[in-house]
Amino acid sequence: MFGNLFKKRRYIFEDESTMVFDMDQTAGRYYDEAMKKLEIEAYEGDEMIVNMGPQHPSTHGVLRLELVLDGELVKKVTPYLGYLHRNFEKHAENTSYNEVIPFCDRLDYLASMNQDLAYALAVERLIGLNELPEKVEYARVLCCELNRIASHLVAVGTFGLDVGAFTPFLWAFRDREKILDLLEWLSGARMLYNYIWVGGLARDLPGGWLAKVREFLDYFEPKMVEFNKVLTSNHIFIERTAHVGILDPDVAVSYGCTGPVLRGSGVKFDLRKDEPYSYYDKFEFDVPVGDGQFGPLGSVLDRFVVRIQEITESVKIIRQALDGIEPFTDQDVKQAIPRRIRPAADAEMYVRSETPRGELGFLIRSDGSDVPSRVKARSPCFSNINVVDDLSRGGLLADLVIIIGSLDIVLGCIDR
Amino acid sequence: MGNYFNNIFRAISTIAVGMAETWKAMFRPPITLQYPNERWQLPVNARGILFNNVDDCIGCFKCARICPVQCIYIDTVKALPDEDLGKASMGNPIRQHLVRFDIDMFKCCYCDFCTTVCPTECLYMTEEYENGVFSRENGIYHFSKYSPPEAMALRRREQEETMTKALAKEAALAAKKKAAAQKGKETAEA
């Protein structure tokens, strides 16, 4: 193992004379023992350890990857997490149930509505609040799906950037900006909404908002066709991505991958369908899965295409929700908000929901006071990033960049 | 070999399709704003810098208590019994002098909880969003009806009040003790 590295070492001196040390005779075995003690991986001699990140444009945040490279081939990838750790779980133990929601926003800052919904659902089930006004439920689905589109637009746009396509990135952000404007009108903030509260919504829907959403969808659908013409159907793009980062379905399941990463491998698992929460059982939509049309199943391209198709599905859901909310627009969105949240002592609830990145679960345990005794967040990105070593072993360094892009990680969600 | 040429053909044709789309985009008006010269139209309830209308503030501490990041600092001085501080515009009587109402906008997470709990609706978020400053002290916003010397005088008044009260209490206690001791003596004598 260490033999090649340590047994024979050639030193080149300043006067260009060389000398070979036989390390077996000198210190080799001590090195071997020391390395064994430290459990350092064995390297074969030509490898090089390179740090990628935490400040690197294609790690999508402050992720540090320690790469073992053999020339341009990736031998091993070790993700180091924790650069964006903000102590969510401890904060949650010191603030009341409602006040946790702004912290939930900051977990996955690209899809805050979905995080809020997951947390609100968990607390609602904890206190047994199961009947909510129809308007609240429809509005929640509406803003969650809008946010899902916005989040997927970032994912596909930055993925295009990773493979070198700049125009689709700008187009995706242009359309995302329109969604953020809508949500800003709704909640007052562009990204960290604090809009979905336990038992209701923070504010009523502004007048004319629903019409504006409809208007946006009419604008957005042709734009998506345009986007697909430029990027998704581009043959160079397909050839670049269709044979890279193959994630087998069983590997994906064993790593606990969820969301588009799992569905890209052909596993049809979507909590909106399989374990419907809120009003998701009232809508008709498909769960797109990867088909491996241009290469092996579970490639980087499949994950990308799943996201593109999910955007279309979300548009479908939003249209149905817009029709569904129509008869209930007079309802008060704050009527079911509990005045005081005080679950029974030792009550415990785990609720999972489908965010754009996969299964987000909140485990909440109560000790009978106003403050949760424990809040644990099961982050989808945390499971998804662990698969990066499996995907990129034996590949090229340039492929690693698009593999990370296809996993669509948000470091706020990983580190919490 | 056929695959090779097929690949080339498909690459060129799909790029042509994409280029046609980008060519169309050339003739669309730009959507970017030249930021310092042009501004976005913010919605009505946009969440910007917090502002407190101190004339209406009753010093109820609700905002400070609900703040998830504890960025609101309030100190109040109780009004004297013969002092009339008037009423807030919503009709709530004001019973305290608000000597300090500071908001640390560096800490603020713009969650909008404080404005929803405010009973007099005096605390609200403005549409101002350009709050970059050059020093940390400038990020702390002070809201008060009183100038610093006035606030100081009020604080001192409260201090003196508590002092005199404490002294009076001590004196009363001492007197009680003395009386009890005397009584005990008397009973012992008797």
Q: Are A111 and A11 members of one domain?
A: no
B122: exposed, middle or buried (Cβ count in 10 Å: 0-12, 13-18, 19+) = buried
pLDDT for the residue A151: 92
Higher pLDDT, A415 or A24: A415
Enter the ipTM. 0.79
- Interface probe, candidates A235, A236, A301, A341, chain B, greatest B C-beta count within 10 A: A235
Res. B75 pLDDT band, cuts 50 70 90: confident
Residues of B in contact with A106 (CB under 8 A): 109
CATH class of the domain comprising B50-148: alpha beta
Indicate the residue of B14, B18, B113 with minimum beta-carbon distance to A99. B113
Non-local CB neighbours of A275 within 8 Å, separated by 6+ positions: A352
Whether the pLDDT of residue A2 is over 50: the answer is no
Counted domains in chain A: 2
Res. A17 pLDDT band, cuts 50 70 90: low
Contacts by B127-131, CB closer than 8 A, 24 or more apart:
B127/B42, B127/B46, B127/B48, B128/B48, B128/B49, B129/B42, B129/B46, B129/B48, B129/B49, B131/B48, B131/B49, B131/B105
Could you tell me if residue A13 is inside a domain?
Answer: yes
Give how far A123 is from chain B: nearest CA, Å.
Answer: 17
Q: Are A96 and A38 members of one domain?
A: no
The pair of structure tokens assigned to B11 is 């690459």
**Cα distance between residue A260 and residue A357, in whole Å:** 7
Whether the pLDDT of residue A225 is over 50: the answer is yes
Q: Would you put residue A12 in left (φ > 0), alpha (ψ -120 to 50) or beta?
A: beta
Strands A372-378 and B50-52: unpaired
| Cβ–Cβ contact A180 with B under 8 A | no
DSSP-assigned letter for residue A58: G
Q: Are A153 and A25 members of one domain?
A: no
Interface of B with A in 37-66 (CB under 8 A): 42-47, 66
Q: Are A223 and A355 members of one domain?
A: yes
Residues of B in contact with A236 (CB under 8 A): 11, 14-15
| Radius of gyration for the alpha carbons in chain A, expressed in angstroms and rounded | 25
Contact A214, A146 (CB under 8 A): no
Give how far A311 is from chain B: nearest CA, Å.
Answer: 20
Q: How many CB atoms lie within 10 A of CB A318?
A: 24
Contact B71, B110 (CB under 8 A): no
Calculate mean pLDDT across residues B80-99. 79
Residues of B in contact with A192 (CB under 8 A): 109-111
- Which CATH number goes with the domain that contains A258? 1.10.645.10
Give how far B166 is from chain A: nearest CA, Å.
Answer: 35
- Interface probe, candidates B112, B114, B117, B128, chain A, greatest A C-beta count within 10 A: B112
Whether the pLDDT of residue A149 is over 90: the answer is yes
Res. B187 pLDDT band, cuts 50 70 90: confident
pLDDT for the residue A19: 54
Could you tell me if residue A311 is inside a domain?
Answer: yes
pLDDT for the residue A15: 58
| Cβ–Cβ contact A184 with B under 8 A | yes
Could you tell me if residue A314 is inside a domain?
Answer: yes
Closest by alpha carbon to A355, among A316, A334, A384?
A384
Average pLDDT, chain B: 86
- Quick: pLDDT tens for A279-332: 888 888 889 988 888 888 888 999 999 999 999 999 999 999 999 888 888 888
Q: Are A199 and A284 members of one domain?
A: yes
| Cβ–Cβ contact B107 with A under 8 A | no
The pair of structure tokens assigned to A274 is 């399989």
- Quick: pLDDT tens for B41-58: 888 888 888 888 888 888
- Quick: pLDDT tens for B133-163: 898 888 888 888 888 888 888 888 888 888 8
| Cβ–Cβ contact A101 with B under 8 A | yes
Res. A13 pLDDT band, cuts 50 70 90: low
Q: Are A152 and A282 members of one domain?
A: yes
pLDDT for the residue A44: 58
Residue of A nearest to B109 (CA): A102
- Quick: pLDDT tens for A355-374: 998 899 999 988 888 888 88
Could you tell me if residue A258 is inside a domain?
Answer: yes
- Quick: pLDDT tens for A332-345: 888 888 888 888 88
Residue of A nearest to B108 (CA): A102
Residues A88, A91, A93, A94, Cα dihedral to 10°: -170
Contact A113, A195 (CB under 8 A): yes
Could you tell me if residue A267 is inside a domain?
Answer: yes
Domain range for A18 is 1-42
**Cα distance between residue B113 and residue B68, in whole Å:** 8
Calculate mean pLDDT across residues A57-79. 83
Interface of B with A in 9-28 (CB under 8 A): 10-11, 13-15, 17-18, 21-22, 25
Residues of A in contact with B18 (CB under 8 A): 229-231, 233-234
- Quick: pLDDT tens for A229-253: 888 888 888 888 888 888 888 888 8
- Quick: pLDDT tens for B115-126: 888 888 888 888
Residues of B in contact with A202 (CB under 8 A): 112, 116
Whether the pLDDT of residue A3 is over 50: the answer is no
Calculate mean pLDDT across residues A45-55. 78
Could you tell me if residue A120 is inside a domain?
Answer: yes
The pair of structure tokens assigned to B137 is 């002290």
pLDDT for the residue A147: 92
Average pLDDT, chain A: 84
Q: Are A250 and A327 members of one domain?
A: yes
